[in-house]
C-alpha cells in the first residue's frame, strides 16, 4: 500500500509536481487551504462583501460554490450564484438542474440569465446563423464574449462587489498560452487572480487559479458533490490543442504548468504598464460599459442580424 507522505494513511493521489503522495484527507485539506490562501494573498475578498459566483453545474464551479459558501459563512460575506443558460441543447439543460440543486442545498440564492432572453437567440441558433453567414468564428468566441457580458450585467444588478469564476490552474495556463499564440496583449494582461477594469465592471476573482483541474475533480469526488461531467458539444479548436500540448508537457516535465503561471505573474506588472488604459464608454446599442462605441457582444450580434435587448436581467 502506498502511503500518504504527510500522515501515513493510504495514498489516493500522486502529486508529481511536488514529489508527494497524498491521502484523501490531506488532499482535501490542501485544496481548501490553497483556496483560502489565494483569497488572502491576493486580497480577493474583504469581510462583509457581496460575492456573486458563476456556476454552470460543472465540477470546477460547483467546488468553487461549496468552498465560497464555507468561506462566506466564516467571513460574513453574502454569496449569490448566477448561471448563464447559453441554450446548448442536451448540455446546458442537463447541467442547470445540478447547479440549482447545489445552490439550494447550501441555501445560496440562485439566478439564471439566458441568451434567449437577453439576445433573442440561443447559442445553438447563433452558431447556426454564424455558419450560414460564414463568419469564420467558432462557437466559443460567441459564447465567451456574450456570457462575460451577461455575467457582468447580472452581478452588477445584484449589487455584487466581486464576481467569482471557477478558473483552475489548467484554464489559466491555457489562457496564457492562447494569448501568447494569438499575440493578444490586451487579453493577456487581464489574466490573473483578480481583474478590476473600470466603472460598470464588477471586479472578477479566480480563487481556484492555483489548483490543478485533476485535484478539483478529486476533491469533488471525495466530498461526494453532485456535478455535471459532460463535455460541451462545441468544445474544440485551438483551445483543445493547447490543452493537450500542456498536458503532455506536464506529464513529461512535472510542474510545468505552475512554472508558466509563476513566470506570467512575474511579467504581469510589466504587461500592465505597457497596455494602455481604456476610457469607459456606454455601448451605443445596449448601454453596457465598453472601451469602444459598440461593445463586443453587440458587434458580434449585429453581424448575425441580432441585437441585445436593453432591459434588466434580474427582475
Ligand atoms: Fe461555450 Fe465553448 Fe465553453 Fe461550450 S466549450 S460552454 S461553447 S465556451
Ligand atoms: Zn495524509
Ligand atoms: Zn452592447
Ligand nearest to the CA of 143: 1
Task: Look at residues 259, 278, 277 and name the one whose alpha carbon lies nearest to residue 267.
Answer: 259
Q: Please give the average per-residue pLDDT across 205-215, as a whole number.
A: 98
The 8-class DSSP code of residue 313 comes to: S
Res. 209: pLDDT tops 80: yes
Res. 152: pLDDT tops 80: yes
At residue 191's C-alpha, the angle toward residues 186 and 193, to 5°, is: 150
The pLDDT score that the predictor gives to residue 315 is: 83
The 8-class DSSP code of residue 230 comes to: P
The pLDDT score that the predictor gives to residue 274 is: 82
Residue 240's H or E segment, with its range, is: helix 238-252
> What DSSP string describes 141-159?
HHHHHHHHHHHHHHHHHTT
Look at residue 265 and tell me if it is in a domain.
yes
Q: Which of 96, 125, 234 to mutate to test the pocket of ligand 1 (most atoms within 8 A of CB)?
A: 234
Whether residue 169 contacts residue 209, with contact meaning beta carbons closer than 8 Å, is answered with yes
Look at residue 241 and tell me if it is in a domain.
yes
Look at residue 26 and tell me if it is in a domain.
no
Look at residue 185 and tell me if it is in a domain.
yes
42 grid coordinates: 491576493
Contacts of 38 by beta carbon, 8 Å cutoff, 6+ apart: 44, 193, 206, 207, 208, 209, 210
Could you tell me the residue range of the domain that residue 116 belongs to? 31-303
**Is the distance from the beta carbon of residue 271 to the nearest atom of ligand 1 less than 6 Å?**
no
At residue 196 the predicted structure's pLDDT band, cuts being 50, 70 and 90, is confident
The alpha carbon of 142 and the centre of ligand 1 are apart by a number of angstroms equal to 9
The pLDDT score that the predictor gives to residue 9 is: 97
**Is the distance from the beta carbon of residue 87 to the nearest atom of ligand 1 less than 6 Å?**
no
**Is the distance from the beta carbon of residue 238 to the nearest atom of ligand 1 less than 6 Å?**
no
Whether residue 204 contacts residue 52, with contact meaning beta carbons closer than 8 Å, is answered with no
Ligand nearest to the CA of 4: 2
Task: Look at residues 68, 87, 102, 71 and name the one whose alpha carbon lies nearest to residue 228.
Answer: 102
Ligand nearest to the CA of 54: 1
Residue nearest to atom 2 of ligand 1 (CA): 140
179 grid coordinates: 494569448
Round to the nearest angstrom and report the end-to-end CA distance of the chain: 56
Please count the other Cβ atoms lying within 10 Å of the Cβ belonging to residue 99: 27
Q: Which of 122, 151, 232 to mutate to test the pocket of ligand 1 (most atoms within 8 A of CB)?
A: 232
Please give the backbone phi and psi of residue 285, each rounded to the nearest 5 degrees, phi first. -95, -45
Give the global pTM: 0.95
Q: Please give the average per-residue pLDDT across 271-294, as a whole number.
A: 88
Ligand nearest to the CA of 171: 1
The pLDDT score that the predictor gives to residue 236 is: 86
Cα–Cα distances in angstroms (integers) from residue 54 to residues 83, 96, 169, 261, in the given order = 6, 12, 17, 23
Look at residue 9 and tell me if it is in a domain.
no
Look at residue 309 and tell me if it is in a domain.
no
pLDDT over 70, % of the chain:
100
> What DSSP string describes 39-62?
HHHTT---TT-EEEEE--SBHHHH
Number of helices (H) and strands (E) in the chain: give both, helices first: 12, 10
At residue 276 the predicted structure's pLDDT band, cuts being 50, 70 and 90, is confident
Q: Which of 96, 139, 151, 165 to mutate to test the pocket of ligand 1 (most atoms within 8 A of CB)?
A: 139
208 grid coordinates: 481556484
Res. 144: pLDDT tops 80: yes
At residue 237 the predicted structure's pLDDT band, cuts being 50, 70 and 90, is confident
Sign of CA dihedral 18, 14, 242, 84: negative
**Is the distance from the beta carbon of residue 143 to the nearest atom of ligand 1 less than 6 Å?**
yes
Sign of CA dihedral 251, 255, 258, 263: negative
The pLDDT score that the predictor gives to residue 207 is: 98
Look at residue 21 and tell me if it is in a domain.
no
**Is the distance from the beta carbon of residue 97 to the nearest atom of ligand 1 less than 6 Å?**
no
Whether residue 233 contacts residue 89, with contact meaning beta carbons closer than 8 Å, is answered with no
**Is the distance from the beta carbon of residue 234 to the nearest atom of ligand 1 less than 6 Å?**
yes
Look at residue 14 and tell me if it is in a domain.
no
Longest dimension (CA), the chain: 65
**Is the distance from the beta carbon of residue 44 to the nearest atom of ligand 1 less than 6 Å?**
no
Whether residue 64 contacts residue 207, with contact meaning beta carbons closer than 8 Å, is answered with yes
Q: How far apart are CA 161 and CA 50, in angstroms?
A: 5
CATH number, domain of 89, equals: 3.40.50.620
**Number of domains the chain is built from:** 1
Whether residue 199 contacts residue 285, with contact meaning beta carbons closer than 8 Å, is answered with no
- 263 or 276: which carries more pLDDT confidence? 263
At residue 76 the predicted structure's pLDDT band, cuts being 50, 70 and 90, is very high
* C-alpha radius of gyration, the chain, whole number: 20
Nearest atom of ligand 1 to the alpha carbon of 92: 6
Amino acid at each position: 500500500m502506498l502511503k500518504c507522505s504527510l500522515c501515513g494513511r493510504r495514498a489516493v493521489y500522486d502529486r508529481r509536481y511536488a514529489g508527494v503522495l497524498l491521502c484523501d484527507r490531506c488532499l482535501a485539506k490542501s485544496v481548501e487551504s490553497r483556496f483560502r490562501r489565494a483569497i488572502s494573498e491576493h486580497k480577493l475578498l474583504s469581510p462583509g462583501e457581496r460575492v456573486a459566483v458563476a456556476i454552470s453545474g460543472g465540477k470546477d464551479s460547483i467546488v468553487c460554490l461549496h468552498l465560497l459558501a464555507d468561506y462566506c459563512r466564516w467571513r460574513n460575506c453574502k454569496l449569490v450564484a448566477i448561471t448563464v443558460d447559453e441554450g446548448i441543447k442536451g448540455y446546458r439543460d442537463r447541467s442547470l438542474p445540478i447547479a440549482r440543486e447545489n445552490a439550494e442545498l447550501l441555501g445560496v440564492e440562485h439566478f439564471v440569465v439566458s441568451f434567449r432572453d437577453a439576445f433573442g437567440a440561443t447559442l445553438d441558433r447563433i452558431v447556426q446563423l454564424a455558419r450560414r453567414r460564414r463568419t469564420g468564428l467558432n462557437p466559443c468566441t460567441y459564447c465567451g464574449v456574450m456570457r462575460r457580458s451577461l455575467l457582468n450585467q447580472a452581478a452588477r444588478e445584484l449589487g455584487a462587489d466581486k464576481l467569482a469564476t471557477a478558473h483552475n490552474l489548467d484554464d489559466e495556463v491555457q489562457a496564457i498560452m492562447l494569448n501568447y499564440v494569438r499575440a493578444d496583449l490586451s487579453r493577456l494582461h487581464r489574466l490573473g487572480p483578480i481583474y478590476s477594469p473600470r466603472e460598470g465592471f464588477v471586479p472578477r476573482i479566480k480563487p481556484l487559479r492555483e489548483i490543478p483541474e485533476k485535484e478539483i475533480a478529486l476533491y469533488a469526488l471525495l466530498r461526494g458533490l453532485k456535478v455535471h461531467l459532460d463535455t460541451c458539444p462545441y468544445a474544440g479548436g485551438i483551445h483543445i490543442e493547447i490543452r493537450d500540448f500542456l498536458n503532455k508537457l506536464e506529464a513529461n516535465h512535472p510542474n510545468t504548468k505552475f512554472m508558466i503561471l509563476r513566470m506570467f505573474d512575474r511579467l504581469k506588472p510589466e504587461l500592465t504598464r505597457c497596455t494602455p488604459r481604456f476610457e469607459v464608454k456606454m455601448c451605443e446599442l445596449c448601454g453596457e460599459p465598453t472601451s469602444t462605441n459598440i461593445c463586443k457582444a453587440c458587434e458580434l450580434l449585429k453581424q448575425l442580424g441580432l441585437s441585445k435587448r436593453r432591459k434588466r436581467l434580474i427582475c
